[in-house]
Structure 1
Amino acid sequence: MYPYFALRAIGIKIPSYVANFITTIQFSQMLIGFGVNITSWYLQRKYY
């Protein structure tokens, strides 16, 4: 993600599929993190 923004900041055009891929990966990361947090919360309430 950061190299993408750095290249865009210096005026290099990046194909739109790269931006779409980055967005998809970030969204997936958010969903996985959400799942991990919910699972952790559930296990703490169940066993402690």
Structure 2
Amino acid sequence: MPKRTFQPNTRKAKKKHGFRARMLKKAGRKTLKRRRDRKRALLSK
């Protein structure tokens, strides 16, 4: 039986999907814009 693939790591998640990580790239800023347009309560991790 293989092990579970999701091994939660807050630091890793924030570095990849965090707000500041999103702000670094144009695509990330676009993602935040889309989420703002949809009135998401949570924009990023």
TM-score (norm 1): 0.33
Which has a greater percent of helix? 1
TM-score (norm 2): 0.35
Higher RCO structure, 1 or 2 (CA under 8 Å, sep 6+) = 2
